[in-house]
Amino acid sequence: MNDSTTLNTLTKNIYYKVIAFDTHFNQSAASKIIELAKRDTIPPVGPLITGFAVNDTSVVLRFANSSSEDVVRNILLRRENVNTKFDTVFSNSNLRTIQFTDSKIAGGKQYEYAMIAIDDGGLSSKFSKSIQVKTLLNNRIPVPKLDGSFDGKTKKITLSFLVDDKLKNQKLKVELFKRSDKNAAWINFKNIDFEKGKVFLDDPEAGQNGMIYTVRLTDENHKSSKFSNELELKFNQ
């Protein structure tokens, strides 16, 4: 026996059962119901890029995932030139994920982003409306390295700064930041002129068992570095 049905519906399955009749048209009990999956012909609803933020090292993209129930992946695409193919930069199977940071970019370039969705039948949505993003030119100076220690005898904190050789002939300032723990806000407590080999001394506050430090450089043209590594010191007072 052959049967036919429409495929252009949102119902994914079709169900059958069999009833027998004798020559007197007496009806038997119905057979066990069987469930068959229909071939999917309707592509999923496309996802949508809802916003973005740009700096000199990354592009942060916010998006709304596809609303189709059978979607298995939402895919973020990127290309640098309108004449080239899109490349996949992020494939998302967790529908609660609605943001992605693209850090594999170069400063001062134009990028185009779009999205598609793939359902469990392998069908893909149409491309979402794309967005054009111009990344910022990276004018940052090299990041310093921060080191330091706490002297239990003098009760002093010593901080030292290692600066890239590319900056050796420049006038630099060191912005010092600290916080009592990882849940506290950073405090810019001192700005000093950088001198090679010179250390900075700090005093722990009464009752504190530790402190976290980080620093940033600025040059005479007001260009700044990223923040250095975080240095966590424990005090045995």
- Tens digits of residue pLDDT in 185-237: 999 999 999 999 999 999 988 778 899 999 999 999 888 898 999 999 998 75
Q: What does the domain layout of the chain look like in residue ranges?
A: 48-134, 145-234
Specify the fold of 145-234.
Immunoglobulin-like (2.60.40)
Q: What's residue 229's pLDDT?
A: 96
Q: Which residues of the chain have pLDDT under 70?
A: 1, 3-11, 38-40, 237
pLDDT at residue 7 in the model: 55
Two tokens at 116?
């598609």
One-character DSSP codes across 111-174: EEEEEEEEETTS-BPPPPPPEEEEPPP--PPPPPEEEEEEETTTTEEEEEEE--GGGTTS-EEE
Give the whole-angstrom CA distance, residue 213 versus residue 231. 5
Look at residue 36 in the predicted model and tell me its pLDDT.
77
Kindly state which CATH superfamily the domain 48-134 is placed in.
Immunoglobulins (2.60.40.10)
| 145-234 and 48-134 share a CATH fold | yes
